[in-house]
Amino acid sequence: MSKDVILGVCVICGKEIKSKWGAMQKDGLWICAGSCSRTYDKEKKTWSLEKWDELRRRQAEYDQASLQELPDKVKAAVGDKKVVGFVTGFGLIKKLTATIIVTEDSIVFYDPKITGADKTEIPFPQIVSAMYMLEIGVPSFSVTTQSGTTKLILSGSKKDTHEPALALFNILKEKLSELAAVPISETHNKGLIKEVWSFYAPPQLAVMGTKHSENKTTESIIDQIKKLAELRDARILSPEEFENKKKELLARL
């Protein structure tokens, strides 16, 4: 994300959020990590419907503005989907930079090559595990589904690509945690030349579709829809967000 793009305004202190580093999104709104985030959790229950509407309207304007700032190739790679974040690696030939994009419901690996762009889109429910690796200063993402592993190295990238790439990985984790009824498991190994952050999707995502977990999955999906309906009734989710999420969940039954 370009440094000049304002992603939103912290709903507690009013500070402009220009990078996902040190900030987070809750209920679709931006908040500084740390004390603002804790204050938000306490205060949001007391907010009026008018205040929620106003905050949502303002955030939608920022979302629109930051989408317009997206590089053309990112727009082309995801079409009409809402981009949650992306990171670009600098290649030897600048025109051929590789991009990793996280949308509302998928991760997209976009690898332009002289012979034509290589694009792989993986919907969240198919992800069994994901790994972020930093080797000799070069970040890479790999995502494993039941049919195999897709890896993209941000080749020739500057060392400072690491920070935004790791931030994007954390967004991916957050998105998958939203889908998961139980917490994802995580490992982190730090070495001299290699650092690895990896996580594994919970069983109801990983073994989806197998007979063994069918009943449990159905129950947990219905529970999740009920919870989402409560959030919609409390006006934390918009009716449209609720419908989208419901559709997503029902598709997994």
Q: How far apart are CA 80 and CA 37, in angstroms?
A: 30
Nearer to Zn ion, 15 or 246 (CB): 15
Structure tokens at 7: 């992603």
Burial class, 61, CB count within 10 angstroms (exposed 0-12 / middle 13-18 / buried 19+)? exposed
Pick the stretch among 15-23, 89-97, 118-126, 202-210 that binds Zn ion (CB under 5 A). Answer: 15-23
User: CA-CA distance, 192 to 135, in Å (whole number)?
Assistant: 9
Nearest distance from C-beta of residue 5 to Zn ion, angstroms: 18
The least CB distance from residue 166 to Zn ion, in Å, is 21
Residue 15 Cβ, how far from Zn ion at the closest point, in Å? 5
Of 1, 7, 17, 36, which one interacts with Zn ion (CB under 5 A)? 36
Residue 10 contacts Zn ion per CB under 5 A: yes
- 131 binds Zn ion per the rule CB under 5 A: no
Residue 85 CB contacts under 8 Å (≥ 6 apart), including other chains = 1, 20, 101, 102, 167, 168, 171
Distances (CA, A) of 228 to 37, 215, 223, 241, 245: 21, 20, 9, 9, 8
Question: Closest CB to Zn ion among 13 and 65?
Answer: 13
Contact stretch for Zn ion (CB under 5 A) within 29-37, 99-107, 188-196, 230-238: 29-37
Residue closer to Zn ion (CB basis): 12 or 205: 12
Residue 5 or 117 with smaller CB distance to Zn ion:
5
Question: 169-172 long-range contacts, Cβ below 8 Å, gap at least 24?
Answer: 169/130, 169/132, 169/141, 169/197, 171/20, 171/84, 171/85, 171/102, 172/102, 172/107, 172/130
> Considering beta carbons, is residue 30 or 197 the nearer one to Zn ion?
30
In whole angstroms, the minimum distance from the beta carbon of 44 to Zn ion comes to 14
Q: Which stretch binds Zn ion (CB under 5 A): 26-34, 127-135, 217-225, 233-241?
A: 26-34
Binding of Zn ion at residue 6 (CB under 5 A)?
no
Of 9, 24, 29, 32, which one interacts with Zn ion (CB under 5 A)? 32
Q: How far is the CB of 8 from Zn ion (least distance, A)?
A: 11
Q: Which C-beta is closer to Zn ion: that of 17 or that of 107?
A: 17
Q: Is 88 exposed, middle or buried (CB count within 10 Å of its CB: 0-12, 13-18, 19+)?
A: buried
Verify binding: residue 29, Zn ion, rule CB under 5 A.
no
Q: Residue 28 and residue 242: Cα distance in Å, rounded?
A: 13
Please provide the distance, in angstroms rounded to a whole number, between the alpha carbons at the two ends of the chain: 35
Q: Does 12 bind Zn ion (CB under 5 A)?
A: yes
Q: Roughly what angle, to the nearest 10 degrees, separates helices 239-250 and 214-233?
A: 180
Q: Rule CB under 5 A: choose which of 6, 13, 67, 250 binds Zn ion.
A: 13
Residues at the interface with Zn ion (CB under 5 A): 10, 12-13, 15, 32, 36
